[in-house]
Amino acid sequence: MNAFTDTEVANPISSTVDFTRDGVQHGFLKLPHSRDDSAWGAVMIPITVVKHGDGPTALLTGGNHGDEYEGPVALSKLAQRLRADQVSGRVIIVPFMNTPAFHAGTRTSPIDQGNLNRSFPGKPDGTVTQKIADYFRRTLLPMADVVLDIHSGGRTLDFLPFAACHVLPDKAQQARCEAGMRAFAAPYAMRMLELDAQAMYDTAAEAQGKVFVTTELGGGGTATARSVALAERGVHNLLVHAGILKGEVTPDESIMLDMPDGDCFIASEHDGLLEMCRDLGEQVSQGEVIARIHDIRRTGSAPVEYRARRDGLLAARHFPGLVQCGDTLAVIADVLE
C-alpha cells in the first residue's frame, strides 16, 4: 500500500461560507465525525467572514482552549456588529476554534483529549483535533496577513493582562509582530518564552511569515467585565493598525515585560495546598518565598517553600488552591525600561 503524503490527503473539513465573496457571512466549518449519538454527524465550528474590496486579511480566533472566555465573548460580539462597509479587506472570525473543548468547558477536546494549541501542524487524516489544526494551517493561515489568537489562563492559571509576541529569527517579522502587540495596547506587553512552542498555532503562523499576536488576559476559568473590554479594545486597535478598519488606535501605556529564560518559571515538585505569598503584579526579589505548599494528608508538618530564582514582576500564578507535582506555580518576568 502506498503511503499518502501530507499534500496528497485532502482535509475533510468543508466551509459553508465563501471566503472570496464581499459582504457578511455567518456559517460553519463542517468536520464529519461519526459517533455513537450521530452516525453521520459532524463537528460544526462557527465562522464569520466580513469582506469588502481588496485589502489585508485578519484571522481572529478565540477558544483555542475551551476554558478561556475573553476571546469567545469579544469575537462573538464583533461577529454580530461588524458591517462590510466598515472593512477594507477581510476579517475571518472563529470565536470557538476548538469547538468540542469549548462546549465541554475544558482545555482539551473531550473527543480525543487533543490540546489544539499543541497539535500543529496537524493531520488531515488524524484525530478530530489534528484535522482542525491541519485545516487552519493549510487553508486559513495562508489567507491571513495578521493573526490574533486570544488566550487567558483558563481554569488553572491567572495572568496579568498582556498581549504578546515571540522572539523570531526573522527580525523584520519580529518587528511587525511587536508593532501589532503594541497596537493591541494591553496594560502589559510580553516578549514571551514558550516552554513547548514546536507544536503551537503560534509557531505555525509565524513559520508562514504572518504577523502573529497572542494574549493572556486573565484566568480562573471565567472572564470579567474588564478582561472582555480589554479584548474588544485590542481587537479594534489591531484591525485599525492593520489598515482594515478606519479610525485611530486607542492608546494605553503598556508596561513591557520579558521572559528571557527558564528561571522565569517555578514548577511544583509536590502535591498539596497552595499558599501564594505574593500577588500578581508585585515585585519579587531573588530568593524570596513566593509560595508554600502544605501537606493535605496530615497536620503538623511544615510546608514546602518555593523561592524566586530571579528579581522581577509576578506575571502569572497557579489558580486553584490545590496543586499537583509538575504544575506551574508562578511566572516571574523582567520589567523592561
Asked if residue 112 has pLDDT above 90, the reply is: yes
Percent of the chain clearing pLDDT 90 (strictly above): 91
Asked if residue 27 has pLDDT above 90, the reply is: yes
Domain covering 14-257: architecture: 3-Layer(aba) Sandwich (3.40)
pLDDT, tens only, 49-74: 999 999 999 999 999 999 999 999 99
Q: How far apart are the C-alpha atoms of 74 and 107, rounded to whole Å?
A: 19
Is the backbone peptide bond immediately before 121 cis, with ω within 30 degrees of 0? Answer: yes
Note the pTM of the prediction, 2 decimals.
Answer: 0.94
What was the pLDDT predicted at 196? 74
Task: In the chain, list all ranges with CATH 3.40.630.10.
Answer: 14-257
14 residue type, one letter: S
Count Cα atoms within 13 angstroms, Cβ side, for 240: 16
Nearest to 195 by CA among 118, 132, 116: 118
Domain covering 260-336: architecture: Beta Barrel (2.40)
Asked if residue 34 has pLDDT above 80, the reply is: yes
Q: How far apart are the C-alpha atoms of 44 and 32, rounded to whole Å?
A: 9
What was the pLDDT predicted at 3? 42
Task: In the chain, list all ranges with CATH 2.40.50.100.
Answer: 260-336
Cα distances (Å, whole numbers) of residue 44 to 24, 34, 90, 109 = 19, 13, 22, 14
Q: How far apart are the C-alpha atoms of 191 and 234, rounded to whole Å?
A: 17
What was the pLDDT predicted at 8? 75
pLDDT, tens only, 201-235: 999 999 999 999 999 999 999 999 999 999 999 99
